[in-house]
Amino acid sequence: MHTATARAVLLLLVAGIFPLAVASSGDVALLLDKLKPALQGAVPNAQLATWNASTPLCLWRGLRWSTLSGEPLRCDTAAARANLSLSRDAALLLASIRLPAAALAGRLPPELGAFPALESVYLAANALSGPVPLELGNAPALSTLDLAGNALSGALPPSIWNLCDRLAELRLHGNALSGAIPAPAGPNDTCDRLRLLDLGANRFSGGFPAFLTAFRGLQRLDLGGNRLSGPVPDSLAAMRGLQMLNLSYNNFSGPLPPAFSASAFTEESFLGNGPALCGQPLRQPCVSPSGLSSGGVAGVVIGLMAGIVVAASVCIGWAQGRWRRNRVRRAAEEGGEETEEGDGGEGKLVVFQGGEHLTLEEVLNATGQVVEKASYCTVYKAKLADGGGSIELRLLREGSCRDAASCGPAVRRIGRARHENLVPLRAFYQGRRGEKLLVYDYFPHRTLHDLLHAGGGLESRPALTWPRRHKIALGAARALAYLHEGRHGEAPVVHGNVRSSNVLVDEYFVARVTEYAVVGSRLLVPAAAEAVLAAAKADGYRAPELQSVKRCAPRTDVYAFGILLLEVLMGRKPSCAANAGDDLPSLVKAAVLEEATMEVFDAEVAKGVRSPAEEGLVQALKLAMGCCAPVAAARPSMAEVVRQLEENRPKNSRSALYSPAETRSGAGTPTTAA
């Protein structure tokens, strides 16, 4: 009597909502009356057949029992194994059910949640069907539930999280559960003991169950093989204890949290979500929507080849962690002096005139698409969030200036340069780990080199008539003259890597010179700068006296410009000529000696030109040859080059090509082109 009272009280305490009528019948009765028939289904089951009064309790298959005091029922004696009275002992509590692969073909009865001491249920690899009963969430002691590999269907009841007090493992892999993964009722449920959650290979739909990322103890999470969609939240990548993750074969989309690029998870964790899921560790890089629609296959292929680098830039954003906008220290001066943002602890964004609207957060969170990989940097077209337009990012690799002190002056001089024929530098970022980003306005990456040499590869390439080529050359010359001018009593800014691939050309044939002063200044360590120089030599742009970067000077830029001008006139790659043992100037000399001067010009140039002398063509050729004089002192200055090009314009220069509206191209405002 005393025992029965205690038991009733216990049940009231732990499973309060269950009626005493059920409780008083005892676990054995509950097992026989409810659990056995439900699990068995229509077909008698050999394992379940042992659960009967004519068999001693210790021989009932797959069950463990405990006493009221919590002691396990001992079945290790012959007496116990033969005791037929045990099954009539209403004080015994069911502690565990372990019948995996037992050909169970029934359903889970609601009473599964009514065993007050039931700690573990292993019913994997059976043929159980029907729903997971809502009442399972009432099981007061359940810590391990393994129902994997059945045919359970319907929604997962939210009450499952009521088990969180004790739940350590929940395996529902390989069922037919559907609907959204329900959130716990309490907003602060952290399910601290849950180590393993396997909901894989079901039919769950809806968004990523973000509440899971608050489950602090989770080590293994499998959501693979469902129909989940939408973005993967950053908070998932922030889960410290997570050791195994499977989000594969869903319909997730958007960029993966950048932090995954630095995690131990491989692409195995994210496969099969389609192309809309991107970013490290997937090989699918994140590209801006416009890049996909109009940039076409080439952009994507380049992106794929450089996927690692894409992630590296995204990773920078992550490495900085959270940052606070209100730390901005504004030092804005008249005329747009640089402004610094962030502090030493988080990396620093120095913004220049016209870049005041950029924030560290925006720059680091921009999604990038690789447009070019140079020896010392990778160039991205990056899209700012929230319709903020595009920027060009140049991520300097190792081998750039080591610290803020050595980078600062060089970068500031680049940042101050403003000319309509220069791609303006708007900001410079230096991270704590030495990573550096140059932030420029974005202009479509159509280089003079591509225009001249891509041939049929460049679809809808405009005709490059002599007036158009002249306009491009003059624009580039003006930009270099501006850099060489040496304003405010400072030394001239040397470009250092003048070449046709560093001249962008817009649809009005306005030239914009890029990459200026990166090589000539101390932005690169000597070894990296020498590599650029070696490339310049191989490609035919290097002045003969330029044996080391230290000798970069305005006149070495002039030499390179002379080669570029010959390239424009002749339509030939300087590298091809140089590799054949002849540079472009030698080819011209030979042609002049043979009185075949007109033959050096590109056919497209010569086309509409009736009188080469009157159209400025001959003058341009002479000028280019002067620029390529072997002796530096014999070369004209860039200012002189500009003057001569202006003086010898093509005859039809009164055409729309030279209208003021087109030469002034609004380079002073950041582009908002998509």
Ligand X SMILES: *[C@@H]1O[C@H](CO)[C@@H](O)[C@H](O)[C@H]1NC(C)=O
- Can you give the binding site for ligand X, defined by CB under 6 A? 49-50, 52, 54-55, 59, 79, 83, 85-86, 89, 187-188, 200-201, 224-225, 227, 229, 246, 248-249, 251, 253, 268
Encode burial over 51-65: b for 16+ CB neighbours within 10 A, e otherwise.
beeeebbbebbbbbb
Closest CA to 227 of 210, 207, 248, 204: 204
Shortest approach of ligand X to residue 234 CB, angstroms?
A: 19
Of 32 and 481, CB closest to ligand X: 32
Shortest approach of ligand X to residue 143 CB, angstroms?
A: 23
- Element of type H or E holding 15: none
Q: Are 183 and 211 within 8 A, CB to CB? A: yes
- DSSP string computed for 263-327: SS--GGGTTTS-TTEESTTSS-----HHIIIIIHHHHHHHHHHTHHHHHHHHHHHHHT----GGG
Residue with tokens 């004209």: 636
Residue with tokens 């080439």: 298
Q: Are 605 and 621 within 8 A, CB to CB? A: no
Shortest approach of ligand X to residue 472 CB, angstroms?
A: 43
Of 241 and 275, CB closest to ligand X: 275
Shortest approach of ligand X to residue 187 CB, angstroms?
A: 6
Q: Are 39 and 152 within 8 A, CB to CB? A: no
Closest CA to 369 of 378, 360, 358, 361: 378
Shortest approach of ligand X to residue 268 CB, angstroms?
A: 4
Of 79 and 656, CB closest to ligand X: 79
Of 224 and 636, CB closest to ligand X: 224
3-state secondary structure of 354: coil
State both tokens at 138: 């009432």
Of 69 and 188, CB closest to ligand X: 188
Of 52 and 548, CB closest to ligand X: 52
3-state secondary structure of 436: strand
Q: Are 309 and 395 within 8 A, CB to CB? A: yes
Q: Are 612 and 618 within 8 A, CB to CB? A: yes
Residues 6 or more apart in contact with residue 109 via CB below 8 angstroms: 34, 35, 38, 39, 133
Shortest approach of ligand X to residue 225 CB, angstroms?
A: 3
Residue 65 β-bridge partners? 94
Of 159 and 359, CB closest to ligand X: 159
Long-range contacts of residues 297-300, Cβ cutoff 8 Å, at least 24 apart: 299/369, 299/371
Shortest approach of ligand X to residue 245 CB, angstroms?
A: 9
Of 217 and 408, CB closest to ligand X: 217
**d(C-alpha 447, C-alpha 514), whole Å:** 10
Of 268 and 614, CB closest to ligand X: 268
Residue 177 β-bridge partners? 154
Shortest approach of ligand X to residue 36 CB, angstroms?
A: 9
Of 253 and 637, CB closest to ligand X: 253
Of 246 and 359, CB closest to ligand X: 246
Name the phi and psi angles at 420, rounded to 5.
-65, -15
Shortest approach of ligand X to residue 244 CB, angstroms?
A: 8
Shortest approach of ligand X to residue 40 CB, angstroms?
A: 10
Of 32 and 414, CB closest to ligand X: 32
In Å, the largest CA–CA distance within the chain is 126
State both tokens at 603: 């056919």
Residues 6 or more apart in contact with residue 433 via CB below 8 angstroms: 319
Shortest approach of ligand X to residue 436 CB, angstroms?
A: 36
Shortest approach of ligand X to residue 85 CB, angstroms?
A: 4
Q: Are 532 and 524 within 8 A, CB to CB? A: yes
Q: Which residue is nearest to ligand X (CB)?
A: 224
Shortest approach of ligand X to residue 224 CB, angstroms?
A: 2
Shortest approach of ligand X to residue 243 CB, angstroms?
A: 12
Of 12 and 59, CB closest to ligand X: 59
Q: At residue 266, what is the residue type?
A: T
Of 268 and 545, CB closest to ligand X: 268
First to last CA, the chain: 81
Shortest approach of ligand X to residue 259 CB, angstroms?
A: 19
Closest CA to 515 of 531, 485, 494: 494
List of E strands, 374-443: 377-383, 390-396, 425-430, 436-441
Shortest approach of ligand X to residue 59 CB, angstroms?
A: 6
Q: Are 328 and 341 within 8 A, CB to CB? A: yes
State yes or no: cis peptide before 281, omega within 30 of 0.
yes
- Local structure of residue 395 (DSSP, 8 states): E
Of 148 and 629, CB closest to ligand X: 148
Of 32 and 563, CB closest to ligand X: 32
3-state secondary structure of 93: strand
Alpha helices in 441-583 (DSSP H): 448-453, 466-484, 526-538, 554-570, 574-579
